[in-house]
C-alpha cells in the first residue's frame, strides 16, 4: 500500500509541476531578456538524503532559449556510473506562445562514454539531449530523478550558470534527517534559507529571483567567486563501500590517507633494494630525492584509468612498478613509496590544477575541490614540491599549473593545508637579445638568444625533443613573421628548482624592412608585440590579473651604409602604473641601432573603475610595439 | 623436365615465405639497432614491420560468412615523443544485430631482449557511442629504445568493404604487407589511394580456402607490399586526409552463388539508378509529392515565376525542418515524419525540399555527394559507401541550382562549403544519373568603402560601408548572430578595435540572405596624436591589414584547398583639412599569380585635397597545386612588404 501511495503522490507532484505554468515568452520581464541568450524560468532542485547510500536528486527545470547561443544552456547532460542510477527523465518543448510542441523521454537521449580524450579508460557515462527546435524562442521543460548510491559528493546549486543567462526563479531544497550533521558553504547568497523541521525530516530551502544576465568582461575573477553557490558536505558518508566521517580538512585528509592510500604503498623488496642502492652515495635527502625523481621520470609515463573509486584512489605502487605507467594519483603514490624506501618523508597533496589559481577553501572541507595530485617533501627548512606526471619537468619545479595556491596534504596525522610557492612577476622572465644585420634590400639576419624562466620556462619547452623540421614549424608559429627562416636551433635547459631554458637561433628574414623609394621602413620591435585588449565602458567586475611577468628585449641592428644616420628620430616611450611598466627606446651608436623594450605586467586584483586605466596602458603598449622607423637612404 | 621441377618448387617456396606473417617476439639485434636515418631521421617511432591478413571464413556456430582480419605490428620507439605510439585504440562497429569482435589480442614490450607481456587486465573496451566500440590498451614498461609488438584478430560481419588497409600512418614504416584471400566466388573492386606506390604485388591461387555447403572454393591470394613509407603529415587548408593517405580499399562487386546465379553489389550506374529510384529512404521519398500538395498553394502564394516559386519553397523548408546535425544520403525514416517532428538529417531535409519542389511542378533532382571531410568519390565505378550527403538540384528554364536547406543562412543556389568537393552524382527518377561539378556558385566577396575627412588633430572621421556576399556573408551573419543582438555585436567590435571608435551603425539585410549583407559604420580612426602637423607619416592600410603570411612554410606536399574563390576590394577617399604635398607613398602595385590564379592591385593618388586609395585582392581558384604554394607565399610576401610602407604628407607652403 505504501508503495502505491508513493507512486501516486509522485505522479501528482510532477503533473502539478508541469501543468500549472504558462510558458508564453511574452511573460518574461524585459529586464530578464536584456543581454540574455537564455532565461531560466523556474528551476527546482531537491536533494533528499534518505540514507548515506541513497541520495535522491530531483531536478525540475523550465528554460527559455532566445537564440542559438542559448542552446548550450538547454542541453541536458546527465553523468552516471555504477554509483548513480537514473530513475526517470521526461520533458516537453513549448513554442514562443507557450503551446506544447514536443515531448521527450529517456529514449530520445544519446548515450556515450564520458572519456575525456586522454584516459585509457573511464567508466562514467553521459546521457545527452538537445531538442531540435528551429524557431526561437522556445521553452524546454523537464524533470529528472537520479539516485546516488553515495553521499560523499552532494549535488551543489549554481542557480546562474553563465553570464548570458538570466534567472526568473530558482530553488534548492536539501532534505535530511533531523539528526544528520551537515556543513553548508554559502557563497553570494543574500538572506537566510528557510528551514522546516518535523520528527522525520529537516528541509532547508534556498531561493533566488530575478537575476539579470550580464556582459562577460575580460580579466575578470573566476565566475564562481561572484556567482551564487550552495555546497553541502554531510559529516558521515558512504562511498563505494567506504565509510567515513569528517568536519574539517584534518579529518578528511586522515580518511584519504588511512582508507585510500595506506594500503597502496607496498613495493616489491627488489625495488626497495634498488632504491637503497641508487641513493647510497648521496649525502642529503634532497640529493637522494633528486636521484629517485630522475628514476621516476625515466621509468614512468602518464596514462589515466578511472574506474569506480579509482577517481579518488591510486592503483597500488607495486602495479606502477610493474607497468611503468599510471595517473597523477598513482605516480605520486609511487614516488612517495620510492622515497620512503630511502627513508624520506613526503605528503600526497590534492590540488586544483590549472593556470588559473584556485585554492582549497580553508573554511570548508569537501572532496571535490581538487582535480590533480602533487607531492610535497617537507625536508627540514627546505620544503620541495614535485610534479610527478611529467617526464620533462625539472626536479622541484611545479610550473604555473599548480603554483601559488592552497593544497590538501594527506598525512598519517591527518590533512593539512599547505601553500605552494608563488612564481612572481620578477621571476617570470623572458630575456631576449638579438644581433641582426640589415642588408641593403631590407633583409635581416643574425642570431637571437632568449632565456625563459619562472612561469615562462615552459613557453618553448615543447620544442625540446622535437625533430628539426617540427622545431622549425613551431618556431614559425611562435615568431610568425613573413619570410622568416631558421637555421641553427639550439636549446639548453638548466633543470633545477628555478629552471631556465635558453633558446638560441640563427634567423634570416628576407625583405623584413621594405625599401620604398629612398626610405626603408623598419619595425624595431620584431618579435614581441603585446596584443591589444578591449576597451569597456561601465565595467562592473574587479580587474583580475592572474599572473605577472617581465619581458625584456634588446635588438641591435647593424644598419647598412646607405642609411643617413643623422635623420633617425627616436620614438622613446615609457609608461608606468599600478598594472605594470613599459619602456621602449632606440639609440644609435655608429651604424648600430639598439632597440630596448621592457614590459612588466603585475598580478593582482584591482577595482572595476581601474579597468579603463588598464586597457589604456595595454593599448598604448600595443601601439608603441608596432612603431616603425622610416630610415632615409642616400641616393 | 626433371630439372625444372625443383626450380619451380623453390620459386613458389620463396613466394610463400614472402607472404607470411612474422613470428611474435622474434626481436633481432637489427631491430634494436635500426637506424632511423635510413627512412626518416626525424622519426620519434618507426614501424619496423607490419603484416595483415584478411580472409572470408565460415563461422561453424552460426553458419554465416565473416571476415577475419589479423593485424601484427612491430614498432621501435626512439624517444619519449614516440611513447604515444604505445597507446593503441582499435575502433569496431556494432549495432543492434551485428558487431565486430576483437580476439587473441597480445602485446609485449621488449627492452634489451627482455620481454614484458601486457596483462589481459590492461585491455579496456569502451562503448563510445551507439555504433562504436573502442578496444584500448597501452604497453607496459616503456623506455626510450623499447620495441613494442602487438597482434590481434578482428571478426567482422561486414564483407562488403572487405578490410581497408592503411599503408601510411602517422609514423614512418619500413615495410607494410597485406595478404588477402578472396574466394573465387567473390569479386571485389580494389582501389589504391594516395601518393605512394606499391613496392610489390603478387597474386597466386590458394586451393580450397573456403568450404560452402560441401563445395570447396579456391581463393585468389594477393599480397600487397609497400616499403619505406613516409609518415603522413596533415597540412593546413587540405580536404580529408583519406584523399591523400596511401591505403587500399575494397568494395564488393558481385558474388557468384553456388546455384550458378550471380548477385551484383557494386554495379553499373544504371543498376544503381534503378535501385535508388525505388529505394524506400531515397527515391520513394523524392516521390512524396502528396505530403506537400495541399501546402504548395499557400507557400507559393503571390509568386509568378518558377524561380520565385523555388525560392519560397526553399525558404519554407529551411524554416520548417531543422537539421539535426547528422549527415546522410538516406532519410532516417521518411520525410513525413521529419516534417512532423520538424527535424531530420541532411537527406530528410533535402528530400523534403525535392518532394516539395516537385509538388509545385518544378523539375527537381537529387545529388548525392561526399563532403570534404569524407574524401572524394570513386569515379571509375559506383561506390555507394563513398557518398554521405544529399542535396537538391532544381532546373528552371536552362539554368540549374544546387540547394541545401540545412543552413538557414545560405542564399538560394549556394551550397555549404562542406559540399564543395569535386563532383556529385545527379539522381533523376526518370533519366540516367550523371556527374556534376560541385563548385561554389558565388565567390566570397567583400568590399569596404570608406569616405571621410582628416581632422587637424590626426583623426579620420567618416563612413565605412561594407558589402559582403557568398561565404563571406554567411560567415559574417553567423558571427553577428552569435550575439543576442546586432547592437551587442557592434559593441564588442568597438571594444576590440582599439584604434577605431564606432559612433553609429546600421546593419541591413541580416535576415534577407538573398541580398548582400550591408554594414554601415560612422567611425573615427586615430592616425596620429596630431603633434606633428606640418609633416607626418600615415599608413593607408588600416582596413584588413595583411601582416601575417598564411603560407609561411617552405614546402608543401598536398594541394592547398581554400574552398571557394574570393574577392576583396577596399576603396578609401579621405579629404584633407589643408593643402598637402605627397612626399612619399606606398608603391602602386599590380601583381598576379600564375595561370590567372589571382591578383593584387593597389593604387593611390592625391587629387586636390583628397587622398584616394583602392585595393583589389582576388583568388580565382578554390584549389592550388602544391607546386603553386611558393607562388602564393611570395604573392602574400609582396603584399605584406608594401603594406609596411606609408604615406609621408607635407603641408604645402
Fold of A23-242: Immunoglobulin-like (2.60.40)
**pTM for the model:** 0.86
Q: Are A69 and B142 in contact (CB < 8 Å)?
A: no
Contacts of A470 in chain B (CB under 8 A): 42
Burial class (CB in 10 A: 0-12, 13-18, 19+), A593: buried
CATH of A429-632, one of 3.40.50.10330, 2.60.120.1130, 3.40.50.20, 3.60.15.10: 2.60.120.1130
Look at residue B458 in the predicted model and tell me its pLDDT: 83
Q: Where are the domains of chain A?
A: 23-242, 251-419, 429-632
Question: CA-to-CA distance for B81 and B142, rounded, in angstroms?
Answer: 12
Residues B85-107 have a mean pLDDT of 92
Asked if B127's CB is within 8 angstroms of A323's CB, the reply is no
Average confidence (pLDDT) over B490-518: 91
pLDDT of amino acid A97? 87
Count of C-beta atoms within a 10 Å radius of residue A347: 24
Contacts for B145 with CB less than 8 Å, ≥ 6 apart: B32, B76, B77, B78, B111
B321 vs A134: CB contact, 8 Å cut-off? yes
Do A68 and B481 count as a contact with CB atoms less than 8 A apart?
Answer: yes
The domain at A251-419 falls in which architecture? Answer: Roll (3.10)
Question: Do A339 and A388 form a contact (C-beta atoms < 8 A)?
Answer: no
User: Which pLDDT band holds residue B530 (cuts at 50, 70, 90)?
Assistant: low
Substitution target in A324, A519, A538 with the highest count of B β-carbons within 10 Å is A324
CB contact under 8 A, B143 and A298: yes
| E strands present in B119-261 | 124-127, 132-138, 147-156, 165-166, 173-183, 186-193, 200-212, 215-229, 247-256
Would you state the pLDDT for residue B341? 81
Q: For A324, which of B127, B141, B320 is closest by C-beta distance?
A: B141
Residue pointed to by grid coordinates 585528509: A253
Residue B517 pairs with which residues in a beta bridge? B468
Q: Can you give the pLDDT at residue B549? A: 93
Closest-CA distance, B38 to chain A, in angstroms, reads: 15
User: Per the structure block, which three cell numbers stand in for B10?
Assistant: 623453390
Chain A interface includes B642 (CB < 8 A)? yes
Judge whether B650 is closer than 8 Å to chain A, CB to CB. Answer: no
Residue B464's pLDDT is: 95
> Angle at the Cα of B66 (from B63 to B70), degrees rounded to 5?
135
CB atoms within 10 A of CB B336: 16
Length of chain B: 653
* Inter-chain CB proximity A121 and B126 less than 8 Å: yes
Give the distance from residue A182's alpha carbon to the nearest chain B alpha carbon, in angstroms. Answer: 37
Radius of gyration of chain A measured on its C-alpha atoms: 30
| B32 vs B44: CA distance, rounded Å | 14
Q: Report the pLDDT value the prediction gives residue A1, as an integer from 0 to 100.
A: 31
Q: Which of A466, A484, A532 sits opposite B498 (nearest CB)?
A: A532
Cell of B29: 639485434
Q: To the nearest whole angstrom, how far is the Cα of B289 from the nearest Cα of chain A?
A: 23
Residues A326 and A318: beta-carbon distance below 8 Å: no
Nearest residue, CB atoms, A519 vs list B42, B129, B584: B584
Backbone angles phi, psi at B12, to 5 degrees: -65, -30
Residues 572-591 of B with CB under 8 A from A: 584, 586-587
CB contact (8 A) between residue B81 and residue A466: yes
How many other CB atoms sit within 10 Å of the CB of residue B302? Answer: 6
Asked if the Cβ–Cβ distance from A113 to B126 is below 8 Å, we say yes
Residue of B nearest to A442 (CA): B641
Q: Please name the helix (run of DSSP H) or strand (run of DSSP E) that holds residue A92, with its range, or none.
A: strand A84-94
Closest residue by Cα to residue A320 from A389, A417, A248: A389
3-class SS of residue A384: strand
Asked if B637 reaches chain A (Cβ–Cβ under 8 Å), the answer is yes
Q: What is the mean pLDDT of chain B?
A: 90
Percentage of residues in chain B having pLDDT higher than 70: 96
Residues of chain A with pLDDT under 70: 1-20, 114-123, 134, 307-308, 310, 567, 570
pLDDT of residue A14: 38
Q: Are residues B602 and B615 in contact, defined by beta-carbon separation less than 8 angstroms?
A: yes
The cell numbers describing A230, all together, are 550552495
pLDDT score at B240: 84
- What span, in angstroms and rounded, lies between the C-alpha atoms of B623 and B597? 9
**Interface contact A121-B124, CB threshold 8 A:** yes
Q: A521–B138: do the CB atoms touch at under 8 Å?
A: no
Distance from CA of B140 to the nearest CA of A (A): 4
Whether B143 sits inside 8 A of A630 (CB atoms) is no
- The per-residue pLDDT for range B102-128, each reduced to its tens digit, is 999 999 999 998 999 998 888 888 887
Here the cell at position A338 is 620510492
Q: Which one of A34, A39, A126, A134 makes the best mutation probe of the B interface by having the most chain B beta carbons within 10 Å?
A: A134
Q: How far is A321 from chain B (nearest CA, A)?
A: 9
Say yes or no to pLDDT of B131 above 90: no
How many contiguous H segments (helices) and E segments (strands) does chain B have? 12, 35
Asked if residue A128 has a cis previous peptide bond (ω within 30° of 0), the answer is: no
Concatenate the DSSP letters of all residues of A31-77 into one string. HHHTT-SEEEEEEEEEEEEEETTEEEEEEEEEEEE-SGGGHHHH-EE
The three-class DSSP label of residue A139 is: strand
Chain A residues whose CB is inside 8 A of the B141 CB are 322-324
> At A614, which helix (H) or strand (E)?
helix A611-625
**Chain B residues touching residue A630 (CB < 8 angstroms):** 537, 646, 648
The string of pLDDT tens digits covering residues B266-311 is 678 888 898 898 889 999 999 999 999 999 999 999 999 999 999 9
Q: What are the contacts of A6-15 at 24+ separation with CB within 8 A?
A: A14/A60, A14/A143
- The whole-number pLDDT of residue A17 equals 43
Which residue on chain A is closest to B551 by alpha carbon? A482
Give me the phi and psi of A29, to 5 degrees please: -60, 145
Angle between helices B486-496 and B471-480 (to 10 degrees): 100
**β-strand A119-122 against A125-129: which pairing, if any?**
unpaired
Asked if A517's CB is within 8 angstroms of B584's CB, the reply is yes
Is residue A189 within 8 A of residue A211, CB to CB? The reply is no
pLDDT at position B507, please? 95
- As a whole number of angstroms, the distance between CA A513 and CA A595 comes to 15
Neighbours of A403 (CB within 10 A): 21
Q: Residue B552 is nearest to which of A35, A132, A480, comparing CB atoms?
A: A480
Domains of chain B: 18-263 (2.60.40.3140), 274-437 (3.10.620.30), 444-651 (2.60.120.1130)
- Write down the residue that cell numbers 539508378 correspond to: B273
Q: Are the folds of A251-419 and A429-632 the same?
A: no
Looking at the complex, report in whole angstroms how far the Cα of residue B648 sits from the nearest Cα belonging to chain A.
Answer: 10
What average pLDDT score do residues B624-647 get?
A: 94
**Whole-angstrom distance, CA of residue A414 vs CA of residue A445:** 60
CB atoms within 10 A of CB B236: 11
Q: Nearest CA to CA, how far is B549 from chain A (Å)?
A: 5
Q: Answer whether B121 touches A (CB < 8 Å).
A: no
Cα A146 to Cα A85: distance, rounded to the nearest angstrom: 6
Determine, for residues B81 and A533 on separate chains, whether the beta-carbon distance falls below 8 Å.
Answer: no
Between CA A60 and CA A171 the distance in angstroms is: 10
Residue B456 has pLDDT above 50, yes or no: yes
Query: CA-nearest residue of chain B to A472?
Result: B553
Predicted ipTM beyond 0.90? no
DSSP state of A442: S
Tell me whether residues B42 and A324 touch, CB distance under 8 A.
Answer: no
- The count of C-alpha atoms lying within 13 angstroms of the C-alpha of A289, restricted to the half-sphere facing its C-beta, is 28
Mark yes or no for CB contact A514/B554 under 8 Å. Answer: no
Q: Average the pLDDT over B322-346 and give the result.
A: 89
C-alpha span between A519 and A633 (Å, rounded) = 6
Max Cα-Cα span within chain A: 106
Interface residue B83 vs chain A (CB under 8 A)? yes
A576 CA: distance to closest CA in chain B (Å): 20
What whole-number distance in Å separates Cα of residue A116 and Cα of residue A131?
Answer: 24
What span, in angstroms and rounded, lies between the C-alpha atoms of A123 and B299?
51
Which positions in chain B touch A299 (Cβ < 8 Å)? 143
Q: How far apart are CA B218 and CA B198, in angstroms?
A: 25
Q: What angle do CA B331, B335, B340 make, to 5 degrees?
A: 130
pLDDT of residue B177 exceeding 60: yes
Please state, in angstroms and rounded to a whole number, the distance separating the CA atoms of residues B632 and B555: 12
What gap in Å lies between CA B482 and CA B476, rounded to an integer? 10
* DSSP state for residue A389 in the 8-state scheme: S
- Answer whether B41 sits within 8 Å of A467, measured CB to CB: yes
B41 touches chain A (CB under 8 A): yes
pLDDT given for residue A165 in this prediction: 95
Q: Distances from the Cα of B280 to the Cαs of B124, B261, B290, B347, in angstroms?
A: 39, 26, 16, 12
B153 and chain A in contact, CB less than 8 A: no
Q: Which residue of A has its CA nearest to B554?
A: A485
pLDDT of residue A120: 62
- Are A331 and A302 in contact by the 8 Å Cβ rule? The answer is yes
B50, burial (CB in 10 Å: exposed 0-12, middle 13-18, buried 19+): buried
Amino acid at each position: 500500500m505504501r508503495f502505491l501511495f508513493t507512486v501516486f503522490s509522485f505522479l501528482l507532484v510532477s503533473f502539478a509541476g508541469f501543468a500549472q505554468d504558462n510558458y508564453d515568452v511574452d511573460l518574461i520581464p524585459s529586464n530578464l531578456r536584456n543581454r540574455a541568450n537564455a532565461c531560466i524560468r523556474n528551476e527546482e532542485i531537491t536533494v533528499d538524503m534518505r540514507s548515506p547510500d541513497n541520495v535522491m536528486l530531483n531536478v525540475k527545470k523550465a528554460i527559455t532559449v532566445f537564440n542559438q547561443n542559448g542552446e548550450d544552456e538547454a542541453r541536458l547532460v546527465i553523468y552516471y556510473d555504477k554509483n548513480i542510477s537514473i530513475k526517470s527523465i521526461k520533458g516537453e518543448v513549448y513554442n514562443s506562445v507557450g503551446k506544447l510542441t514536443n515531448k521527450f523521454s529517456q529514449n530520445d537521449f544519446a548515450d556515450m562514454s564520458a572519456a575525456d580524450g586522454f584516459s585509457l579508460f573511464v567508466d562514467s557515462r553521459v546521457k545527452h539531449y538537445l531538442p531540435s527546435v528551429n524557431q526561437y524562442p522556445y521553452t524546454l521543460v523537464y524533470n529528472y530523478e537520479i539516485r546516488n548510491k553515495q553521499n560523499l559528493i552532494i549535488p551543489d546549486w549554481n542557480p546562474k550558470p553563465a553570464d548570458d543567462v538570466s534567472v526568473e526563479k530558482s530553488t534548492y531544497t536539501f532534505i535530511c534527517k533531523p539528526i544528520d550533521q551537515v556543513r553548508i558553504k554559502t557563497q553570494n547568497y543574500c538572506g537566510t534559507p528557510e528551514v522546516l523541521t518535523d520528527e522525520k525530516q529537516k528541509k532547508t530551502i534556498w531561493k533566488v529571483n530575478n537575476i539579470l544576465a550580464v556582459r562577460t568582461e575580460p580579466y575578470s575573477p573566476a565566475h564562481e567567486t561572484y556567482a551564487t553557490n550552495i555546497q553541502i558536505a554531510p559529516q558521515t558518508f558512504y562511498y563505494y563501500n567506504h565509510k567515513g566521517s569528517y568536519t574539517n580538512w584534518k579529518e578528511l585528509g586522515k580518511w584519504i590517507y588511512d582508507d585510500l592510500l595506506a594500503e597502496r604503498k607496498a613495493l616489491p623488496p627488489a625495488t626497495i633494494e634498488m632504491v637503497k642502492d641508487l641513493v647510497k652515495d648521496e649525502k642529503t635527502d634532497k640529493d637522494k630525492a633528486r636521484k629517485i625523481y630522475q628514476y621516476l621520470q625515466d621509468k614512468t609515463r602518464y596514462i589515466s584509468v578511472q574506474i569506480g573509486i579509482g577517481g579518488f584512489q591510486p592503483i597500488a605502487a607495486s602495479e606502477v612498478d610493474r607497468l611503468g605507467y599510471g595517473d597523477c594519483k598513482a605516480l605520486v603514490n609511487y614516488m612517495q613509496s620510492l622515497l620512503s624506501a630511502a627513508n624520506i618523508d613526503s605528503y600526497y597533496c590534492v590540488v586544483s590544477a590549472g593556470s588559473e589559481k584556485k585554492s582549497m577553501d580553508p573554511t570548508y572541507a569537501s572532496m571535490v575541490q581538487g582535480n590533480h595530485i602533487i607531492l610535497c617533501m617537507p625536508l627540514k627548512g627546505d620544503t620541495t614540491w614535485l610534479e610527478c606526471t611529467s617526464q620533462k619537468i625539472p626536479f622541484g619545479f611545479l610550473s604555473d599549473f599548480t603554483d601559488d595556491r592552497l593544497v590538501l596534504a594527506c598525512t598519517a596525522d591527518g590533512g593539512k593545508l599547505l601553500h605552494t610557492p608563488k612564481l612572481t612577476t620578477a621571476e617570470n622572465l623572458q630575456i631576449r637579445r638579438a644581433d641582426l644585420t640589415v642588408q641593403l634590400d631590407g633583409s635581416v639576419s643574425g642570431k637571437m638568444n632568449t632565456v625563459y624562466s619562472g612561469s615562462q620556462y615552459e613557453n618553448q619547452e615543447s620544442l625540446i625533443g622535437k625533430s628539426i623540421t617540427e622545431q622549425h614549424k613551431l618556431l614559425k608559429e611562435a615568431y610568425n613573421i613573413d619570410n622568416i627562416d631558421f637555421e641553427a636551433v639550439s636549446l639548453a635547459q638548466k633543470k633545477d628548482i628555478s629552471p631556465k631554458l635558453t633558446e638560441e637561433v640563427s634567423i634570416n628574414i628576407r625583405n623584413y624592412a621594405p625599401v620604398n623609394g629612398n626610405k626603408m621602413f623598419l619595425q624595431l620591435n620584431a618579435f614581441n608585440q603585446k596584443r591589444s585588449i578591449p576597451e569597456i565602458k561601465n565595467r562592473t567586475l574587479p580587474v583580475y590579473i592572474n599572473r605577472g611577468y617581465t619581458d625584456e628585449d634588446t635588438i641591435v641592428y647593424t644598419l647598412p651604409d646607405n642609411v643617413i644616420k643623422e635623420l633617425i628620430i627616436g620614438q622613446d616611450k615609457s609608461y608606468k602604473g599600478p598594472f605594470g611598466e613599459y619602456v621602449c627606446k632606440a639609440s644609435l651608436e655608429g651604424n648600430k641601432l639598439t632597440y630596448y623594450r621592457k614590459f612588466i605586467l603585475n598580478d593582482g586584483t584591482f577595482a572595476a573603475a581601474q579597468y579603463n586605466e588598464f586597457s589604456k596602458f595595454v593599448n598604448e603598449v600595443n601601439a608603441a610595439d608596432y612603431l616603425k622607423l622610416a630610415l632615409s637612404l642616400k641616393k | 623436365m626433371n630439372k625444372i621441377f625443383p626450380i619451380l618448387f623453390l620459386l613458389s617456396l620463396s613466394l610463400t615465405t614472402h607472404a607470411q606473417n612474422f613470428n611474435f617476439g622474434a626481436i633481432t639485434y637489427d631491430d634494436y639497432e635500426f637506424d632511423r636515418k635510413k627512412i626518416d631521421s626525424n622519426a620519434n617511432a618507426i614501424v619496423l614491420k607490419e603484416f595483415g591478413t584478411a580472409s572470408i571464413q565460415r563461422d561453424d556456430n552460426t553458419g554465416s560468412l565473416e571476415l577475419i582480419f589479423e593485424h601484427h605490428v612491430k614498432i621501435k620507439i626512439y624517444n619519449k615523443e614516440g611513447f604515444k605510439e604505445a597507446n593503441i585504440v582499435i575502433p569496431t562497429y556494432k549495432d543492434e544485430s551485428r558487431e565486430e569482435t576483437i580476439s587473441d589480442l597480445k602485446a609485449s614490450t621488449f627492452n634489451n631482449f627482455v620481454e614484458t607481456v601486457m596483462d589481459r587486465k590492461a585491455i579496456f573496451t569502451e562503448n563510445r557511442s551507439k555504433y562504436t566500440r573502442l578496444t584500448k590498451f597501452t604497453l607496459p614498461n616503456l623506455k626510450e629504445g623499447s620495441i613494442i609488438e602487438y597482434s590481434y584478430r578482428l571478426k567482422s560481419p561486414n564483407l562488403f568493404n572487405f578490410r581497408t588497409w592503411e599503408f601510411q600512418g602517422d609514423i614512418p614504416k619500413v615495410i607494410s604487407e597485406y595478404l588477402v584471400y578472396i574466394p573465387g566466388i567473390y569479386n571485389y573492386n580494389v582501389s589504391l589511394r594516395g601518393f605512394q606506390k606499391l613496392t610489390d604485388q603478387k597474386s597466386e591461387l590458394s586451393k580450397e580456402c573456403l568450404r560452402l555447403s560441401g563445395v570447396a572454393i579456391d581463393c585468389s591470394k594477393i599480397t600487397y607490399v609497400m616499403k619505406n613509407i613516409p609518415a603522413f603529415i596533415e597540412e593546413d587548408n587540405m580536404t580529408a586526409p583519406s584523399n591523400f593517405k596511401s591505403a587500399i580499399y575494397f568494395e564488393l562487386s558481385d558474388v557468384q552463388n553456388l546455384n550458378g546465379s550471380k548477385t551484383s553489389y557494386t554495379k553499373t550506374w544504371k543498376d544503381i539508378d534503378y535501385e535508388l529510384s525505388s529505394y524506400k529512404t531515397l527515391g520513394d521519398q523524392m516521390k512524396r509529392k502528396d505530403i506537400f500538395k495541399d501546402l504548395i498553394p499557400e507557400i507559393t502564394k503571390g509568386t509568378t515565376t518558377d524561380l520565385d516559386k523555388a525560392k519560397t519553397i526553399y525558404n519554407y523548408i529551411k524554416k520548417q525542418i531543422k537539421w539535426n546535425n547528422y549527415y546522410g544520403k538516406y532519410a532516417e525514416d521518411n520525410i513525413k515524419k521529419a516534417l512532423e517532428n520538424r527535424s531530420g538529417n541532411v537527406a530528410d531535409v533535402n528530400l523534403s525540399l525535392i518532394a516539395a519542389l516537385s509538388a509545385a511542378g518544378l523539375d527537381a533532382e537529387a545529388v548525392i555527394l561526399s563532403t570534404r571531410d569524407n574524401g572524394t568519390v570513386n569515379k571509375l565505378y559506383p561506390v555507394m559507401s563513398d557518398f554521405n550527403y544529399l542535396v537538391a538540384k532544381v532546373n528552371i528554364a536552362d539554368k540549374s541550382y544546387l540547394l541545401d536547406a540545412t543552413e538557414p543562412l545560405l542564399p538560394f543556389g549556394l551550397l555549404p562549403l562542406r559540399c564543395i568537393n569535386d563532383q556529385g552524382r545527379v539522381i533523376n527518377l526518370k533519366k540516367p544519373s550523371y556527374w556534376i561539378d560541385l563548385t561554389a556558385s558565388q565567390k566570397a566577396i567583400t568590399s569596404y568603402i570608406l569616405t571621410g575627412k582628416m581632422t587637424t588633430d590626426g583623426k579620420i572621421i567618416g563612413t565605412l560601408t561594407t558589402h559582403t556576399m557568398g561565404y563571406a556573408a554567411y560567415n559574417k551573419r553567423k558571427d553577428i548572430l552569435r550575439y543576442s543582438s546586432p547592437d551587442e555585436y557592434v559593441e564588442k567590435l568597438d571594444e576590440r578595435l582599439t584604434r577605431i571608435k564606432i559612433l553609429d551603425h546600421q546593419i541591413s539585410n541580416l535576415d534577407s540572405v538573398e541580398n548582400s549583407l550591408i554594414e554601415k559604420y560612422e567611425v573615427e580612426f586615430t592616425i596620429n596624436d596630431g603633434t606633428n602637423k606640418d609633416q607626418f607619416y600615415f599608413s593607408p592600410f588600416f582596413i584588413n591589414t595583411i601582416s601575417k603570411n598564411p603560407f609561411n612554410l617552405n614546402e608543401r606536399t598536398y594541394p592547398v584547398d581554400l574552398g571557394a574563390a574570393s574577392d576583396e576590394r577596399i576603396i578609401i577617399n579621405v579629404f584633407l583639412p589643408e593643402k598637402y604635398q605627397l612626399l612619399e607613398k606606398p608603391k602602386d602595385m599590380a601583381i598576379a599569380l600564375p595561370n590567372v590564379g589571382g591578383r593584387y592591385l593597389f593604387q593611390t593618388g592625391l587629387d586636390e585635397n583628397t587622398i584616394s586609395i583602392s585595393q583589389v585582392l582576388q583568388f580565382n581558384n578554390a584549389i592550388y597545386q602544391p607546386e603553386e604554394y611558393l607562388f602564393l607565399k611570395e604573392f602574400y610576401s609582396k603584399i605584406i612588404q608594401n603594406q609596411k610602407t606609408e604615406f609621408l604628407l607635407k603641408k604645402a607652403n
